């Protein structure tokens, strides 16, 4: 890597010498002759290393360190002090410098220090990049999950950002359908317009029509004044039709008409109104089957099924369990002012084996209860409710940690994908649903040798 070095030193001879020496090391340097100039330069570029003289015309270099740490935390600081001032060097390191050398110094001495500083700068950048990559992969908005299906969901969510496409979200109860619907709305052009929820089962059949389309005064007994329906409230924004699989045939017909004509009419009214809404629907029913059984209109199904997002049940994506546990502990700690740090390994093993019929919602509720009730920093097995005390079904971790096991799984999947792709990383990455760069990092991290796999395939 070709590094960028900022040299803050006022001595012209030293400046000249350092510039030459750095050039020889293939490092690009910029000079500043005073602290004030250094401050200006600091904000101008992403410096890898800052070489800081102690004695400067307008102050001492150590006083400058906190400012660097604050505005350029990724820059590695090396301080130059006069010979025999170890005291000062120690002060500099305490203030946050990474290393120092004393003047006068030999070229090799400087080279060694700079080499190490550059290596550190490279590592810091790498860590930052990996952290960002991980951040981008483990969640999208408030949606947590690192499993392949969840990352596929994020990919789709990113693709449909800023569009008006109709989305049908399917998945068992508690898998996060509403959470996803809200996120889609917040990432659409309509984000500043209303997001209106309509739960198709919560409303009695007789009232659903007036709830959806509104009514005129006197339309029926009890209609004392006219009222807007959900579609009107959502005008310009998004309507979320929840539990769509539970709509009665009459309502289905009416909703279909709105979707086709984009026009509504109040109950008891005669003037049609133009409506502009984006539709997101959700169901935990299998609509294809409902269509086959004749309980759900096929034409409505096609209108809704433009883009489908399926959320798999939690038991089908156990990789997400540890992340979700951590997330819900954090949330419960914040909400109830607790300091629970986590669950024991044994508890995690129970969680991984448990089928979570209520999915993420069940876990969220359980974690909140466990955090509130916990008497220690770590939630242990004794805190678990009876239904989770299924010790025979718990997989034997054989003394391995969860990290070990996940790493083993990751390694196995990557090796398999490489083998199937004849060692071609681009192809293997595609197979795994990750970027080539991400695959490359994983290969490095796990110490897999793709060349070896290539040879063993051929």
Interface with ligand ATP (CB under 6 A), residue total 16
Residue whose structure tokens are 């293939």: 26
- Concatenating the DSSP letter of every residue in 54-91 gives SEETTEEGGGGHHHHHHH-TTPEEEEEEETT-HHHHHH
Rounded to a whole number of angstroms, the minimum distance from the CB of residue 327 to ligand ATP is 6
CA 194 from chain centre, in angstroms, equals 25
Task: Quote the tokens at residue 341.
Answer: 């740090």
- Using the minimum distance from each CB to ligand ATP, give the nearer residue, 96 or 149: 149
How far apart CA 33 and CA 15 sit, in angstroms, is 9
> Closest Cα partner for 439 from 453, 424, 454?
424
Which residue from 7, 49, 144, 329 is in contact with ligand ATP, where contact means CB under 6 A?
144
Give 139's strand partners: 144
285 binds, options Mg ion, ligand ATP, none, Cβ within 5 to 8 A by partner type: none
Report the residue from 178, 246, 364, 410 that binds Mg ion according to the rule CB under 5 A: 178
Q: What is the DSSP letter of 355?
A: -
171 binds ligand ATP (CB under 6 A): yes
**CA 426 to each of CA 136, 152, 429: distance values in angstroms, whole numbers, following the listed order:** 20, 18, 5
145 binds, among Mg ion, ligand ATP, none (CB under 5 to 8 A by kind): ligand ATP
The only residue of 145, 237, 322, 450 in contact with ligand ATP, by rule CB under 6 A: 145
**Which listed residue (14, 93, 179, 406) binds ligand ATP by CB under 6 A?**
179
Q: Which of residues 24-83 bind ligand ATP (CB under 6 A)?
A: none
Backbone angles phi, psi at 268, to 5 degrees: 80, 5
Least Å distance between CB 340 and ligand ATP? Answer: 18
Per-residue contact track with ligand ATP, 89 to 128, x per CB under 6 A? ----------------------------------------
Q: Which of 11, 364, 380, 407 binds ligand ATP (CB under 6 A)?
A: 364
Q: Which is nearer to ligand ATP, 15 or 175 (CB)?
A: 175
Asked if 29 and 7 touch (Cβ cutoff 8 Å), the reply is yes
**Up-side HSE of residue 7: CA atoms within 13 Å toward CB?**
23
Q: Is 143 in the site for ligand ATP (CB under 6 A)?
A: yes
Site size for Mg ion (CB under 5 A): 2
In total, the chain counts a number of residues equal to 458
Does residue 173 belong to the site contacting ligand ATP (CB under 6 A)?
yes
Phi/psi at 413 (nearest 5 deg)? Answer: -65, -40
* Cβ atoms of 145 and 324 closer than 8 Å: yes
CB of 175 to ligand ATP, least distance (A): 4
Of all residues in the chain, what percent are helix, strand and coil, respectively (each to 5)?
Answer: 50, 15, 30
Residues 259-288 that bind ligand ATP (CB under 6 A): 284
Q: Which residues bind ligand ATP (CB under 6 A)?
A: 142-145, 171, 173-179, 284, 360-361, 364
Q: Please report, as ranges, the residues that interact with Mg ion according to CB under 5 A.
A: 177-178
């Amino acid at each position: 890597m070709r590094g960028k070095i900022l040299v803050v030193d006022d001595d012209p001879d030293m400046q000249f010498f350092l510039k030459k020496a750095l050039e020889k090391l293939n490092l690009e340097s910029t000079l500043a002759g005073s602290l004030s100039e250094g401050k200006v330069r600091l904000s101008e570029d992403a410096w890898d290393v800052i070489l800081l003289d102690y004695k400067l015309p307008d102050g001492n270099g150590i006083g400058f360190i906190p400012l660097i740490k604050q505005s350029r935390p990724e820059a590695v600081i090396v301080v130059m002090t006069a010979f025999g001032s170890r005291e000062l060097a120690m002060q500099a390191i305490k203030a946050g410098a990474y290393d120092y050398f004393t003047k006068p110094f030999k070229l090799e001495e400087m080279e060694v220090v700079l080499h190490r500083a550059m290596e550190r700068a490279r590592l810091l950048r790498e860590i930052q990049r990996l952290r960002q990559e991980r951040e981008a992969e483990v969640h999208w908005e408030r949606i947590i999950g690192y499993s392949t299906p969840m990352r596929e969901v994020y990919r789709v969510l990113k693709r449909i950002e800023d569009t008006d496409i109709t989305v049908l979200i399917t998945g068992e109860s508690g898998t996060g359908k509403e959470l996803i619907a809200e996120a889609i709305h917040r990432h659409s052009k309509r984000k500043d317009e209303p997001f209106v929820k309509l739960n198709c089962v919560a409303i009695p059949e007789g009232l659903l029509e007036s709830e959806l389309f509104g009514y005129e005064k006197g339309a029926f007994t009890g209609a004392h004044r006219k009222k807007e329906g959900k579609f009107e409230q959502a005008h310009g924004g998004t309507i979320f039709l929840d539990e769509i699989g539970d709509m009665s045939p009459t309502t289905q017909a009416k909703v279909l008409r709105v979707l086709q004509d984009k026009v509504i009419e109040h109950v008891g009214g005669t003037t049609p109104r133009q409506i502009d809404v984006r539709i997101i629907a959700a169901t935990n029913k299998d609509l294809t089957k409902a269509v086959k059984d004749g309980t759900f209109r096929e034409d409505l199904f096609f209108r809704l099924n433009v883009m489908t997002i399926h959320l798999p049940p939690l038991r089908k994506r156990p990789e997400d369990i540890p992340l979700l546990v951590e997330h819900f502990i954090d949330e419960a700690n914040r909400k109830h002012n607790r300091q629970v740090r986590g669950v024991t390994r044994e508890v995690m093993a129970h969680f991984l084996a448990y089928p979570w019929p209520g999915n993420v919602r069940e876990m969220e509720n359980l974690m909140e209860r466990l955090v509130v009730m916990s008497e220690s920093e770590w939630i242990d097995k004794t805190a678990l409710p009876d239904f989770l005390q299924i010790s025979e079904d718990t997989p034997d971790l054989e003394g391995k940690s969860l990290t070990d096991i996940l790493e083993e799984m990751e390694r196995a999947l990557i090796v398999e994908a490489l083998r199937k792709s004849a060692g071609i990383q681009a192809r293997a990455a595609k197979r795994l649903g990750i970027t080539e760069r991400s695959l490359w990092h994983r290969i490095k991290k796990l110490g897999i040798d793709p060349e070896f796999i290539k040879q063993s395939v051929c």
